[in-house]
Chain A
Amino acid sequence: MPVIDLAETSRRDLNGLLHGLAPDTNQTHWRVENPAGQHALAVGLDAPVTIEIAGHAGYYCAGMNQRATVIVEGNVGVGVGENMMSGTVHVRGDASQAAGATAHGGLLVIDGNASARCGISMKGVNIVVKGSIGPMSAFMAQSGALVVLGDAGDALGDSIYEARLYVRGQVKSLGADCCEKPLRDEHKAELRALLDAAGVDAGVRVEAFKRYGSARTLYNFHIDNVAAY
């Protein structure tokens, strides 16, 4: 297993090595030591490899990820997994703001809490947060699912287009055009699959979650709202 020590190797060299991996590489398991909160670690990967980051990472960790599995054994800064397309990003600690922002696919798992704007403008990614999420999460979310085992902060799902938000705890408030919706069988099945994929204890009941989504009243301009602009 290749081990890269960021106390000796630059972040740019690390990312260069990872970008150079062929799709059929035999070096499928990497370990990155002494990340020291550096930004842009393991970004832009496009190979079915696993990268373990042994500590806290900074901004945009595993951004634009495709196919790779990135595991962070600590906290991450702003924008973890931003615009990821596929693969898995697993944060064992907490995530800062805008986790999974604009991400199109793949699975983002956060074992701790995620702060403000988690899943902002998400476009198909699935996000599972085992703790709580901050205010303005899933703002303008377009597609995908956001699962939260803890609580959600103010204005959840503000101006949401389409995405499925599952929250087990308290929602402090819902944002504009976000409403509670029935948890049908198809949603229970999706939720179960996501909880299993994220390694959540099988004892966690899907019935304990509530589903939130778009009330679809902001899709078209309504003449009665003209005074609001």
Chain B
Amino acid sequence: MCGIVGLFLKDPSLEPQLGALLSGMLAVMTDRGPDSAGFAVYGGGSADRLKLTLRGHNLDRVAEALSAAIGERAFGTLRDSHLVLSVPKSRDAAVRGWLAAERPDLVVIGAGQRIELYKEVGLPADVATRFGLAGMAGTHGIGHTRMATESAVTTDGAHPFSTGPDQCLVHNGSLSNHRSLRRMLEPEGIVFATDNDSEVAAGYLSWKLRQGATLAQALEAGLDDLDGFFTFVVGTESGFAVLRDPISCKPAVMAETDRYVAFGSEYRALVGLPGIEGARVFEPEPARVYAWERA
């Protein structure tokens, strides 16, 4: 069992509250996943800079050392065990080269123009507090609370998974053909950091998106190629999508108003959202792609 929450804002005036709303939703889902939690927030960014979310220890001097090495300014925002680096996009290869050579102990868990990604072991409310989720602004965000059933309780096993620029996926369920998919995707250049089945689903979508598919088309293709139980919530730089397997094995409820689209594993997670009384509350149908794009 796991819990998923997602919030995609249509009304820019809600953007300063994104983290606070998502944080409340995440805490309610503790009953479904008390082992670890994670979330991705699509915040500010600019076209000429790249944001890298790093996880590890001894993070306080990374930005300084990196700036010296590449000869351009890198900015770092430290949040507990994670560091969000902002570097010139043109120096992507140099930055990653330096990290691989000088700081191989650090894991890059997310990269893109706007995505920031955080995950840790612990109760969801504690994880959200450690990273200061309630104070984050953004256009959309996705969160996950994990109750581990198939593999160890580790930060590596926590969601969301990000396998492409500004892309992330959370998953409730389990995939049965993730080994063969992984063997197909790795020669295509999709890199996996863990043995987790959900990361393979993320990689599959990244592969489809790289080929030029829209988010909706990538998920549509996933219905044929992904075997198993799943409720996915997926984020991209400008998009937000939901897909359930054909027998809707895992729960899902959605709410839509003029101001936002919200997803929860259970309705309880949506209760604190503004104007929820007047929202259109519905259960997403099995094997049907629901996708939204920012204008």
Contact = CB atoms under 8 A, between A and B. Distances in A.
Interface of A: 36-39, 56, 58-59, 75, 77-78, 93-94, 96-97, 115-116, 134-136
A115 B283 contact: yes
B267 A58 contact: yes
B248 interface: yes
26 contacts: A36-B268, A36-B271, A37-B266, A37-B268, A37-B271, A39-B268, A58-B267, A75-B281, A77-B251, A77-B253, A77-B266, A93-B281, A94-B281, A94-B283, A96-B251, A96-B253, A97-B248, A97-B251, A97-B283, A115-B285, A116-B247, A116-B248, A134-B248, A134-B286, A135-B248, A135-B286
A97 B283 CA distance: 9
A75 B267 contact: yes
B251 A94 contact: no
Given A78-B251, A135-B247, A96 B268 contact: no
B246 to A, nearest CB: 8
Interface residues of B, number: 14
Nearest to B284: A115
A35 B145 CA distance: 23
A34 to B, nearest CB: 9
Nearest to A136: B247
Given A56-B281, A116-B247, A77 B267 contact: yes
Contacts of B267: 37, 56, 58, 75, 77
Contact of A116 (B270, B282, B286): B286
Interface of B: 247-248, 251, 253, 266-268, 270-271, 281-283, 285-286
A38 B253 contact: no
Contacts of B247: 116, 135-136
Contacts of B286: 116, 134-135
Contacts of A116: 247-248, 286
Contacts of A96: 251, 253, 283
B37 to A, nearest CB: 20
A77 B268 CA distance: 10
A117 B2 CA distance: 21
A73 B200 CA distance: 42
A75 B283 CA distance: 10
A38 to B, nearest CB: 7
Contacts of A56: 267, 281
Contacts of A136: 247
B1 to A, nearest CB: 12
A134 B251 contact: no
A142 B190 CA distance: 50
A78 B265 CA distance: 11
A56 B248 CA distance: 21
Given A37-B268, A78-B251, A97-B251, 12 more contacts: A37-B271, A39-B268, A56-B267, A58-B266, A77-B251, A77-B266, A93-B281, A96-B283, A97-B283, A134-B285, A135-B247, A135-B248
A96 B264 CA distance: 13
A56 B253 CA distance: 12
A188 to B, nearest CB: 32
Given A96-B253, A116-B248, A136-B247, A58 B285 contact: no
A58 B251 CA distance: 12
Contacts of B285: 115, 134
Contact of A37 (B270, B282, B283): B270
A12 to B, nearest CB: 15
Most buried by A among B267, B268, B281, B286: B267
